[in-house]
Amino acid sequence: MIPERSLEVLRAIVHDYIETNQPVGSKTLVERHAFGVSSATIRNEMALLEEEQLIVAPHTSSGRVPTDKGYRLFVDRLGEVKPLSIAERTAIENFMQGSADLDEILGRTVRLLAQLTNQVAMVQYPSLEKGHVKSVELIKVADNQLILLLVTDISRVQQHLIQFAAQLDEDFVSTLRAKLIGALTGASLSQVSAKLHDFTSQFAPNRETHVQLVLDTLLEQVDANRQDKIILAGTASLAKNEDDFKGSISPMLEAIEEQVVLLRLIQEMQAEENGVALRIGSENLLSEFSSSSVVVSGYEKEGAEVAKLGVLGPTRMNYSANISAVRAVARYLTQTLGGL
């Protein structure tokens, strides 16, 4: 429905605007891009694009700026995304090398992504919902304190301190430990609750409150895997691009600090055909992010998507470069996790 040349003009406008941060006018446009036509023709095209609400003029006598809708059309019809440069690829590989620990891998990943894109980078911790229990450990650290460890197959160990009213004897702890291991090893996290259904009855009545306390803590740990965590890097780039955002950046910083908000935001984003999900400006329902865009992609472990990563920046961002960076980093992370 929208003719090819109009699209071409839109592409050029987005491109120039991203580069110069100035509203772009018809004259400079024909100078920089070798359209075969004069500025007057471009003016007509631009009037059309404005009617379609794809671009807008900040004031009467100025050039045009893409609207959110304009950016959206731009990325949807982007065609090819620019592949990463060789320098970038080697940078990625060097960055990821020699990490064994999950925390370290994710930490490196998020810094890498921030560096590649010059935007705020976010990496969500893997959801363990689909994980399995590898082992459970009880470690006595004081007469009345245990540390409960839950080891799952996504290279992560959770720990929690349990405080008891009374002293604990070694025998009780070790039988409890053995029975827990027996009952849970290999179970998927979603099964844990069911598997423990009648667990307490194995113990003498006077032990029951202690056992129950441990079970409660354990279930809490399992539950904690559902509300995941997110790590960030590159928040300084918000300040650097400050005038790209309407208003102050401080509500954005606040929202970012509230992990819950961010998590909900990226949770509800569903990937499109090219593997990444994209929200542009007002497509983000939260008002704090109405002049920001978010690019996210899922990453996988053992063939299943376990969490997401992505970047957050002004709507005036380099979509092509950022999309390919997010995609590449997600792929490398998937690959790195596969090697564990």
Q: Which residues bind a copy of itself (CB under 8 A)?
A: 100-102, 134-135, 137, 139-141, 147, 149, 151, 153, 155, 157, 159-163, 233-240, 242, 248-251, 253-254, 257, 340
Q: Taking CB under 7 A as the rule, does residue 57 contact DNA?
A: yes
Number of Cβ within a 10 Å radius of residue 272:
11
Cβ of residue 1: shortest distance to DNA, in angstroms? 15
Q: Taking CB under 7 A as the rule, does residue 62 contact DNA?
A: yes
User: Nearer Cβ to DNA, position 24 or 106?
Assistant: 24
The entry of DNA, a copy of itself, none near residue 237 (CB within 5 to 8 angstroms by kind) is a copy of itself
User: Nearer Cβ to a copy of itself, position 242 or 272?
Assistant: 242
Cβ of residue 8: shortest distance to DNA, in angstroms? 12
Q: Rounded distance, CA 185 to CA 180, Å?
A: 8
Cβ of residue 42: shortest distance to DNA, in angstroms? 8
- The interface mask with DNA, positions 11-50, x = CB under 7 A, is -----------xxxxxxx-------xxxxxx-xx-xx--x
User: Nearer Cβ to DNA, position 22 or 335?
Assistant: 22
Cβ of residue 177: shortest distance to a copy of itself, in angstroms? 11
The entry of a copy of itself, DNA, none near residue 40 (CB within 5 to 8 angstroms by kind) is DNA
The entry of DNA, a copy of itself, none near residue 147 (CB within 5 to 8 angstroms by kind) is a copy of itself
Cβ of residue 50: shortest distance to DNA, in angstroms? 6
Q: Taking CB under 7 A as the rule, does residue 2 contact DNA?
A: no
The entry of DNA, a copy of itself, none near residue 200 (CB within 5 to 8 angstroms by kind) is none
Q: Rounded distance, CA 340 to CA 21, Å?
A: 44
The entry of DNA, a copy of itself, none near residue 244 (CB within 5 to 8 angstroms by kind) is none
The entry of DNA, a copy of itself, none near residue 179 (CB within 5 to 8 angstroms by kind) is none
Cβ of residue 316: shortest distance to DNA, in angstroms? 16
User: Nearer Cβ to DNA, position 10 or 278?
Assistant: 10
The CA angle 305-307-309, to the nearest 5 degrees, is 120
User: Nearer Cβ to a copy of itself, position 269 or 333?
Assistant: 333
Cβ atoms of 322 and 277 within 8 Å: the answer is no
- Report the residue from 60, 163, 167, 206 that binds DNA according to the rule CB under 7 A: 60
Per-residue three-class SS string for the chain:
CCCHHHHHHHHHHHHHHHHHCCCECHHHHHHHCCCCCCHHHHHHHHHHHHHCCCEECCCCCCCEEECHHHHHHHHHCCCCCCCCCHHHHHHHHHHHCCCCCHHHHHHHHHHHHHHHHCCEEEEECCCCCCCEEEEEEEEEEECCEEEEEEEECCCEEEEEEEECCCCCCHHHHHHHHHHHHHHHCCCEHHHHHHHCCCHHHHCCHHHHHHHHHHHHHHHHHHHHCCCCCEEEECCHHHHHCHHHCCCCCHHHHHHHHCHHHHHHHHHCCCCCCCCEEEEEHHHCCCHHHCCEEEEEEEEEECCEEEEEEEEEEECCCCHHHHHHHHHHHHHHHHHHHHCC
Using CB under 7 A as the criterion, which residues of the chain lie in contact with DNA when the complex forms? 22-28, 36-41, 43-44, 46-47, 50, 57, 59-64
